Amino acid sequence: MSWSKPLPANPVVAIAGATGAVGREMLLVLEQRAFPAAEVKALASVRSAGSTLPYRGGELTVEEMCPESFEGVDIALFSAGGTVSEQLRDAVVAAGAVMIDNSSAFRMAPDVPLVVPEVNPAAAFTHSGVIANPNCSTIQMVVALNPLHQVAPIKRVVVSTYQAASGAGAGGMSELYNQTRDFLADEPLHVEKFAHQIAFNCIPHIDVFLDDASTKEEWKMVVETKKILGDENIEVAANCVRVPVLRSHAEMVNVEFAAPISVEQARAAFAAAPGIIVMDDPATKTYPMPGLLAGTDATYVGRLRKDPTVAHGLNFWCVADQIRKGAALNAVQIAELLIGAGR
């Protein structure tokens, strides 16, 4: 089933969860990309109602989010958590708005497209009121995998992630800041957002553990990659690790292909693909690094090389800002697709 209501060229946009890290970034991305919204509404919980957020040289007053908030709204960008998205889905759709949801609530639902505009833009137009934003670590990986998949079919992917504290929101970044300060001052560390100390540490555990001893974050990368690339035969093995970086996730990706693909072909495919910047020159020690790429929009690739242990294999490293391309930017790009303003 596809959505029958046409969206106006200048839609009314609501940000659900506007005071969170991703919600604030959504406002910033809308402003920076000159998104042609007739009006932007900032919605959040009752405790944030009445506060203000900067937008386009002025301020938006935050409104308490309720089912009635979406009357007159055309596009609702949600980053308020899966429970809230599930509770308000019917109200959003009944109001005639399109929900672009950043939570995991609907990603694997058969009637909800999972969209990365550089990879499967046509899927955005098959929605029935809800479009899902993929997991942050999946987004950057499929942006990089897709051009390679067009050159030679992918058989298997093994990915190890190095995920920033921003994946746990503003509270995760604050915890890294505070623990780092306390560690250097030889003070006790307060652990709340993560399973263990994050300062000066790596935690091989993101989200809950599943029955097979993998984590839900790893499961997301497996099933979402297949759905976005439209190929259930691609095998994916994911290992997700939280590292003491504030913003931008990094991933080391090993890919096995069903047909030959050279390093030169892969490099050319990356260079020609939308949303990718190649940073790859060992002679000058040039490669993407998460600590230096925060606040940027692209997916960066480097350390591209042959994997000699399989017939057709490559390794590469990729980096993207988790709050921007991994969340807010991807959602706004979907909105741009819907109104025909993609860039």
312 and 166 in a common domain: yes
> Does 5 fall in a domain?
no
Is there a single domain that holds both residue 309 and residue 179?
yes
Q: Please report the beta strands in 69-217, taking only residues with DSSP state E, as ranges in sequence order.
A: 75-78, 98-101, 130-132, 154-163
CATH code for the domain of 35: 3.40.50.720
Which 3 state secondary structure label does DSSP give 15? strand
The domain containing residue 90 runs over which residues? Answer: 12-134+327-338
202 is known as an active-site residue = no
Mark whether 164 and 308 lie in a shared domain: yes
- C-alpha distance across the termini of the chain, in Å: 27
How many independent structural domains does the chain possess?
2
| pLDDT at residue number 74 | 98
- Tell whether 113 and 148 lie within a shared domain: no
Residue 3 forms part of a structural domain: no
- For 154, the 3-state DSSP assignment is strand
How far lies 215's CA from each of 115, 185, 233, in Å?
23, 33, 21
Reported confidence tier of residue 343, pLDDT bands at 50, 70, 90: low
pLDDT band at 158 (very low <50, low <70, confident <90, very high): very high
Inside any domain, residue 87: yes
Domain match, 295 and 231 both: yes
Residue 307, in any domain of the structure: yes
Report, as an integer, the average pLDDT of 30-36.
Answer: 97
Residues 205 and 104 in one domain: no
If you write DSSP's letter for every residue of 202-269 in order, what string do you get? -BS--S-B-TTS-BHHHHHHHHHHHHHHT-TT-EEEEEEEE-S-SS-EEEEEEEEESS---HHHHHHH
Residue burial 249-280, b: 16+ Cβ < 10 Å; e: rest: bbbebbbbbeeebeeeebeebbeebebbbbbb
Q: For residues 173 and 265, state if they share a domain.
A: yes
pLDDT at 4 over 80: no
- State phi, psi for 203 to the nearest 5 degrees: -120, 110
Contacts of 35 (CB under 8 A, 6+ apart): 13, 29, 332, 335, 336, 341
Report d(CA 119, CA 166) in Å as an integer: 24
Q: What is the CATH number of the domain that holds 167?
A: 3.30.360.10
The number of residues in the chain equals 343
Is the CB of residue 327 less than 8 Å from the CB of residue 79?
A: yes
Question: What is the predicted pLDDT for the residue at 6?
Answer: 83
Whether 6 is covered by a domain: the verdict is: no
**Residue 127 is among the residues annotated as catalytic for this protein:** no
**Same domain as 318, residue 255:** yes
Q: Are residues 122 and 169 in the same domain?
A: no
318 with 201, same domain?
Answer: yes
| 241-272: pLDDT as tens digits | 999 999 999 999 999 999 999 999 999 999 99
Task: Note whether 143 and 127 are same-domain residues.
Answer: no
pLDDT in tens, 113-135: 999 999 999 999 999 999 999 99
**Does residue 2 sit within a domain?**
no
Q: Point out the catalytic residue in the list 127, 149, 240, 249.
A: 249
Q: What is the pLDDT of residue 341?
A: 66
Are 272 and 165 found together in one domain? Answer: yes
**Per-residue pLDDT reduced to its tens digit, 219-233:** 999 999 999 999 999
Residue 202 lies in a domain: yes
Section 12-35 average pLDDT: 97
What tokens were used for 142? 């499929």
CB 64 within 8 A of CB 16: no
* Candidate list 136, 240, 312, 318, residue with the active-site label: 136
In sequence order, the 6+-apart residues with CB closer than 8 A to the CB of 90 are none
Residue 169 lies in a domain: yes
Mapping DSSP to helix (H, G, I), strand (E, B) and coil, where does residue 153 land?
A: coil
